[in-house]
Structure 1
């Protein structure tokens, strides 16, 4: 049945050359754990991508129940945890995954740095990777406020005060994020939700696409 479906699609859009090109791509010997014990350090990038996929899927599920409104935000989170089947598990995956993805990205960045994989011809890929790191930090920061509890409120207040200390554009940056330069309220929650769900994911997908294209062109870097 699946073969017939595949043949039907392949006859119309010719997908075989695409996946064969991906499947036939050779993996360097130094990233094969069967040959080199140290090859595990090359797994951090893949693990980061895997956790990112989990974050996207779990986040899509959470947005089906979340209400970005100061009157209903916490109520919707509580309903998700208490009433929705497997809601507590999915929210837990998203919550802990937000920390784990940063850890994996940090380890991946360390591997790239100490093995000199940021050098020619991979300088641009290093810059893109650093930008991805900052986008991930932004996702963590904006997502922290969304449950709208005391911990999230005061942590965001501290974060906005730090943003306000940015030279030249600090006040404007805080106003852009919070909506109101004086209080954290309904506009802040709405803006954080929009940034977390729309703006930063769009930037993340674009940067990751560029990252993968360059990895494909340049190959996986080798050890020093």
Structure 2
């Protein structure tokens, strides 16, 4: 059945060459763990992408139950955690996956730096990777407030104070993120929109650019 469906789609869109191009792409010997033990450090990029996919899928599930309102946010998280089938597992995956993603991005960045993979002709890809790192940090910061408990509230207040201390534009950044004089309903609504819509859109765009450049330039050589 699936083979017939694939043949039907392939006859109209000619998708087989695209899959062959991906499958036949040669991988350098130095990134094959069967030949070099140090090749495992080249897995950090793929593992990072895997954790990002987990975050996206689990986040889509969470948004079906979460209510971005200060009077109902905590209740919606409690309901998801205790009443929804497998809700505790999915929320746990999203919660711990956020920390794992940041760690994996950091390790991948270290690998790129210490192997010199940021040098010509991959400077632009290095810039994209650094931007990805900051976007993921932003996702972690904005997502921390969404449960709307005391820990999230006071942590976000500290974050707003740090943002306000930025020279020249600190006040503007604080107003943009906070939305009012206090961390309240406007802040929660803005953090939800940034976390669910704006930053994921930037993330997907940067990932696409990252993968396209890797495809064009290939995997960097050994140290």
TM-score, reference length from structure 1: 0.99
Quote the Cα distance in structure 1 between the aligned partners of 2:136 and 2:220: 23
Distance between the aligned counterparts of 1:170 and 1:111, measured in 2?
33
When the two chains are superposed, the root-mean-square deviation of aligned CA atoms in Å is: 0.5
1:167 matched residue in structure 2? 167
Q: Where does 1:37-116 land on structure 2 (aligned, <5 Å)?
A: 37-116=37-116
1:223 CA drift (Å): 1.1
Distance 2:189 2:206 in 1: 25
Q: 1:128 matched to which residue of 2? A: 128
Q: How far apart in 2 are the matches of 1:2 and 1:101?
A: 34
> Residues 87-115 of structure 1, C-alpha deviation per residue, up to 9 Å, x if partnerless?
00000000000000000010000000001
- Please show how residues 10-25 of structure 1 align to structure 2 within 5 Å: 10-25=10-25
1:167, CA displacement in angstroms? 1.2
Runs of 4+ residues over 3 Å off in structure 1:
none
1:137-187 Cα offsets, whole Å, 9 max, x none, are 00000000000000000000000100001111100110000001x211100
**What number of residue pairs does the alignment pair up?**
223
Q: Hey, what does 1:149 align to over in structure 2?
A: 149
Q: Which ranges of structure 1 fall in alignment gaps of 5 or more residues?
A: none
